[in-house]
Amino acid sequence: MATFLYRLGRFAFRRRHFVALIWVALLTLAGVGAGNAPAAGNTSFSIPGTEAQKAFDLLEQRFPGASADGATARVVFKAPAGEKITDAGNKAAVEKTVGTLSDGSEVASVADPYTGKAVSKDGTIAYASVKYDVSGMELEDSSRDALKEAAQDARDAGLTVEVGGDALSAAPETGATEVIGIGIAAVVLVITFGSLLAAGLPLLTALIGVGIGVSTITALAATLDLGSTTSTLATMIGLAVGIDYALFIVSRYRAELAEGRDREEAAGRAVGTAGSAVVFAGLTVVIALVGLSVVNIPMLTKMGVAAAGTVAIAVLIALTMIPALLGYAGRKVRPMGEKSKLLGGGRNRGADRAAKPNLGTRWASFVVRRPVAVLLLGVVGLGAAAVPAASLELGLPDDGSQPTSTTQRRAYDLLSEGFGPGFNGPLMVVVDAKDSTDPQAVFRDVGNEIKRLDDVVTVTPAAANKAGDTATITVIPGSKPSSATTEDLVHAIRDKGADVKADSDASVLVTGSTAMNIDVSQKLNDALVPYLALVVGLAFLLLIVVFRSVLVPLKAALGFLLSVMAALGAVVAVFQWGWLSGLMGVEETGPVMSMMPIFMVGVVFGLAMDYEVFLVTRMREAYVHGEKPSQAVVTGFKHGARVVTAAAVIMMAVFAGFIGSSESMVKMIGFGLAIAVFFDAFLVRMALVPAVLALLGRRAWWLPKWLDRVLPNVDVEGEGLRTASGAPSRDDDDKELVRA
């Protein structure tokens, strides 16, 4: 592999115009596709195989024309203090608002609160349900404006009015923090390279890669049903890995220049060595992201595949466009150790300072001398950070998790005040009595059985379809949607359904947003172990091929488990317990998003293996070239610690930039990934890895002879480049690439 990538690097350096033209053409093509693509609709959320999804699918079959795909809104009215919402003046204001809402061109129906029994027992609060013909993302701005204006007219009449539901949903905003994150990355690159031009190359290529990836996602959004969160995630991961991969190749290029090689040869060797690490690091990230498909949640699968595609683009750009841009830069990108005059280059700082070991060398030497102490401190520290993870509560965000400044959250609170906390999470019970001899009796009996259960406030009469074989029953719990009591009620209704099935051949299914949340959490919990086995297993085999060792990949996997558990603990502490919530902009604490654990496992594992590959391949390279194990650790840190540290800081800055998002899911992902990179890069890879390798010595690189014979030799260290006699000619490069 190293030889092929070496030829590719030289080819891209020499044929820079051709390579640059290809990437500019791809960016233009993707941009045109995104610009001409139809607007994406509201992303469908389905969980195949769950009872809630089966009930939803059954409703679509048995109740045609009553699809739940349309946007909804609840306009909640509260009377002034000391008055009733049923008073003549207040009632007139409410009815006027209902009439105004009914005139909308996209409005399917508006339920009058007085005829629909949507008035609280104390008579102070009422709500009107608005149903639209199109989804929330397809609503015209005029329909949203009409909804807001109608609410404001009722406020002007003296009522308190708030609006909930997805009709007011909008694409998430990331704010200025994303730009700040990229700015921090730029500063780190300038400090690392000592050159503005060299620092600009990784940023430029990362932005081009993300531009191609996100534009492609936008172009395919309507066709593949991709939501806004998909492109946000692709941007987040694409920027982080794109900058890091380019950073490693540019750094190796400068190191090769410092050894006296000409620029084309240095570009080839940089792609052949650091590029090999980039390929395998990218493969681990792609495996982890694509592996999310085993969970069988379409939205999660699409997010993973889209992000994996952006990572693949980042790898290809790093291998081809970086050497092409280095060719354009020429002598403006200086050898390692030299700075531009603008940043203080050319000054004589003394030979004694030049000979002083760098920080990475000093730190690795310390760890090698005190491996047990460093190992114990690192494990105890990560273990302490992981303690909050034992209190992890999972759920999906709803209007109750919105900031109190939003009208959606205030509407949620008003409904809880007037109708009880369970009103915001009603359960829909679907009774399929098609095989029963007396469907009406079954509907009645099911309703009576549910009324006898604990924590049930209201059970509506069964509403049958035209055929009379299927009915829906709405159940209002006494507890809030995210409570354990409500979850127990869902399981109790399903248990009763098993008895009904045995007695009458009728099926009882529970659906609704609350039941869906419960099923999602259960499905994700059940998928976590198979997912870990698949992803960690495949990556473990990949790392055995890379490092030609059994213990090094095993250590990498165990270190990852420590870092991901510590990161989950930090997420629980901030988003569930409220620690530092003000600093992070978390206005409302609550359960952690159901997808967060398995999503973090996938993404963090891929990123953790990035640093493992980049840092340990340098150690492996030194060991292969004859250094003692302990000295190889120090050598690896001498050449790789500075760059890995810069890469980690950059990745943390990019992820942390998304903490300013207006969407709680994106905010949580940004924080979780940023803190996970911190734990993994600085505690696991920079402390635990050298400590374990120092303790293992030569055993770290042990590989059974039979396995050594079976495994392919991918030559990540570039040993073939060192032993080759003379550099291949340009014609040889071109012919070899054509054959490949």
pLDDT above 90: percentage of residues in the chain:
19
**What would the 3-class secondary structure string for 99-142 be?**
HHHHCCCCEEEEECCCCCCCECCCCCEEEEEEEECCCCCCCCHH
Q: Which of 218, 292, 303 is nearest to 45 (CA)?
A: 303
Q: Is 147:163 a contact under the CB 8 Å cutoff?
A: yes
Least confidently predicted of 89-93, 407-411, 511-515, 591-595: 591-595
Separation between Cα atoms, residue 714 and residue 275, nearest integer Å: 12
Least confidently predicted of 210-224, 507-521, 595-609: 595-609
The type of residue at 326 is: L
Q: Predicted confidence band at 15 (pLDDT cuts at 50, 70, 90)?
A: very high
Q: 67 — phi, psi (to 5°)? A: -60, 145
Separation between Cα atoms, residue 603 and residue 610, nearest integer Å: 11
Express each pLDDT in 72-117 by its tens digit: 888 999 999 989 999 999 999 999 998 998 887 788 888 888 887 7
Separation between Cα atoms, residue 574 and residue 567, nearest integer Å: 11
Distance of CA 346 to the CA centre of its chain: 44
Q: Residue 189, Cβ neighbours under 10 Å: how many?
A: 25
Least confidently predicted of 180-194, 552-566, 568-582: 180-194
pLDDT > 50? residue 348: no
Separation between Cα atoms, residue 520 and residue 443, nearest integer Å: 27
Ramachandran class of 483: left when φ > 0, alpha when ψ lies in -120 to 50, beta otherwise: beta
pLDDT > 60? residue 355: no
pLDDT > 60? residue 171: no
Q: Predicted confidence band at 21 (pLDDT cuts at 50, 70, 90)?
A: very high
Separation between Cα atoms, residue 504 and residue 327, nearest integer Å: 77
pLDDT > 50? residue 738: no
Q: Residue 149, Cβ neighbours under 10 Å: how many?
A: 13
Q: Is 486:455 a contact under the CB 8 Å cutoff?
A: yes
Angle between helices 263-290 and 2-14 in degrees, nearest 10:
120
Express each pLDDT in 445-499 by its tens digit: 999 999 989 888 888 888 888 888 899 898 989 888 877 888 899 999 999 888 8
Q: How many residues does the chain have?
A: 740
H or E element that contains 414 = helix 407-419
Coil/strand/helix, residue 160: strand
pLDDT > 60? residue 540: yes
pLDDT at position 313: 94
Q: Is 441:518 a contact under the CB 8 Å cutoff?
A: no
Maximum alpha-carbon separation in the chain? 97
Separation between Cα atoms, residue 389 and residue 386, nearest integer Å: 6
- Give the helix ranges, DSSP H, for 84-172: 88-102, 141-156
Coil/strand/helix, residue 632: helix
Angle between helices 513-547 and 551-571 in degrees, nearest 10:
150
> CA triplet 632, 374, 573: central angle to 5 degrees?
125
* 376-399 CB burial, b ≥16 within 10 A, e <16: eebbeebeebbebbeeeebbbbbb
Separation between Cα atoms, residue 622 and residue 616, nearest integer Å: 10
Place of tokens 């389905």: 46
Structure tokens at 513: 């947003």
Separation between Cα atoms, residue 551 and residue 23, nearest integer Å: 40
Least confidently predicted of 34-38, 215-219, 557-561, 651-655: 34-38
First to last CA, the chain: 11
Express each pLDDT in 694-705 by its tens digit: 999 888 888 888
Q: Please state, rounded to an integer, the average pLDDT across all residues of the chain.
A: 82
